[in-house]
Structure 1
Amino acid sequence: MERENYSAEYFERALARAYGCEMLLVENFHIEAVSQKGENFCSVIYRVALDFRRSPGGALESGKYILKDLLPAAAALGSNEKDMFELLLPAMQAILEEAPKEIGERKLSANCLLAEISAGKELYIMEDLGALGYGSFDRRQGLNLEEAKICVRKLAQFHGASKVLFEKKPELIQRLSPSHYANGLNDRFAQALVLEGTEYAAEAFAEELPEISKKMKAQIPDAYTKRMRDVVDPNKSSLNAVIHGDPWLNNIMFDSVNKKATLVDFQNCYWGSPAIDLYFLFYTSLKHELLLNSQDEILNHYFDNLLETLRHCGYKDTLPTFGQLKDEMKRCLFYGYYTVVCELPICCSSPEASVDFGVHTFVNTDAMLKKRHQLFASERVRQTIKSTLLMLDSEGILETP
């Protein structure tokens, strides 16, 4: 469906289905594409404002919505987002809503009105969080300590509610496909993002860190692929939850007035270790000084909120221990390696590097090489990767078994 087909008539049909009002009429319709420069790599996002009546002569109501239209290349990869929006998120939200008021603010996501999937097509209509007071972080600056704690509190609620849901309705969790990396790094997108991304980084630091560069190259592809498969395998984890899979600061909306956050973009959710989400957030989104000095403080804040969520939501199994979480952080450190080398450069790309950067870029070898030259020109990227590689080497992560 092309851009011009998202008309008032389209929304009339969509909202009629969503609200169960066959005679719904849309008036004063406005739609605009949200800027795509490096902000949404796999989808086109539209902001919609309209007035509607649920029936002729009914009261005039106003609505503000977001329409998320996955690009065909992204839709073809497959996604858990429809099941998340239609089944798991409503169930997880209901679990949190039943908790006592002591749990505080508890909104996990935008409410989804409509999810549609067809061949090569995947789209969602949901409430506009911007109209509710939420905004985006500055992805090039990174999170400060207060913001980071608010974000990990939301991840803790998300993970905790999913663990309670697993006790109540395990069949819902079982609907989720495993990680895209569970079967290796075989598709063209994974090869470009992960393997070629790691090779490029190894070459970029070959002069400064020659021994580390050699170790990085030696793992590709076989040892690297095996390590990645092991990390995302829930059977190897002592602590599992539904994880977001992509919790960088562009996928977290923030209400700066009320100091609260909520999550967006649930394409990559799966059952796995919460440490995966934590490393993804840490290495894509924290200011560099927090990475160096405050990880333990942020991790403690996450764990306190995870326990609070589990207790308030009636979790029946034995509560996880901080030792379990620390063990998972150690087991999943390889995911931190992947995140800082392959994801960080993209997540904080400059305005210049963001131009014409999308999912199509990854499968064009020449275009991606030029793009990586731009991405690695960032001082934050080089500083963060270099310091992290030195730490990872001291921890033995870069050795080939």
Structure 2
Amino acid sequence: MTFASLGLIDPLLRALDALHYTQPTPVQTNAIPAILAGRDVMAAAQTGTGKTAGFALPLLQKLSMEGAPVASNSIRSLILVPTRELAEQVHESIRAYGKNLPLRTHVAYGGVSINPQMMKLRKGLDVLVATPGRLLDLYQKNAVRFNQLQILVLDEADRMLDLGFSREIDAVLAALPARRQTLLFSATFSEAIRALAARLLVDPLSIDAGKRNTTAKAVKQWIVPVDKKRKTELFCHLLKKKAWTQVLVFVKTRRGVEELVEVLAARGVSADSIHGDKPQPARLRALERFKRAEVQILVATDVAARGLDIDDLPQVVNFDLPIVAEDYVHRIGRTGRAGATGEAISLVCADEVQLLSAIETLTQQLLPRFEEAGFEPDHRVPLTDARGQVVKKPKKPKKPKTGKPALPAKA
């Protein structure tokens, strides 16, 4: 199977060749012909399986082939995404795939000035990638119109609902024309998303490019039990011992992120951070520095669990386990992408055993444990079984009271 056999036009094929895309992934093989044919699509695919190209390539082809002029402040297609990082990533891919096509594209999200985004929309756009909140801001200012909208894409819609965007999504959908092509792409589908799809999609093609909530086989996963107070010391030890060159580290809190960056800097290790308190330009600079290998360690909260596309990232470290088990799948999906191999290491303390159990139950696998010499925990992490359930420790027998002989049992 080749991209040409899927019916893609020459300008897209040349762009794919420049990007060294050789063969379509399963989700692309199924989605591209259906979207070109005008069908609604509901696709579930693990992160790293090429779902962005799965919807972007046929979308760009349809827009370029129809070639309709865009009225002022109007858009012909809308791609809704949950986070700023994902918006930037998707728009970057759109630009790369469509570099040989005469299409106008832009990205809109909060945390930065709205004025440049309004200026871009004045001439009209073929493709707008946006987060729900900023899109509504633009709509309420009459900076964007939907009368020419032909294609709507909901990317990572489950995450949008997780982040509390359900009202914003409903408001956006109410403003869109009823006649349109709708594409729903996501790494996972919750029951709420399936209900949303049933309301939005018309006779959709359903694509399941992998088991729900599974982790990529190319990622080697294991955990290292450790006491909570020694996590930073253990991470620095492993960094030096294993000579890690580039590591994405996930920490639970924003404060914890900055504390780890400070410790690393004090030890002469180049590190930067991404979290919700940092302005968007600073977050983008941190990501670009990491991609260019100007910093060795990128420490992030779950704001970066989705939307980071880093070529050949060798290691992901869960300094803290995520509160939501599904985020584990997305965190470690930053490595082992596009057929490459990767490693995901989790530093787990005793009070995280319930989080560990939830992850193992979700992914239906028992994560192997390897204790690091010199860091064996005083507070042991309880064992879990093959179903991801915590194995209760047997109760210790009560010691008989001293000084009095035990009474014989009554007959």
TM range (shorter): under 0.3
Structure ranking higher on relative contact order (CA contacts 8 Å, 6+ apart): 1
Give TM-score scaled by structure 2 length.
0.27
Instruction: Kindly indicate which of the two structures has a greater share of residues assigned to helix.
Output: 1
Give TM-score scaled by structure 1 length.
0.28
Give 1 or 2 for the bigger CA radius of gyration. 2
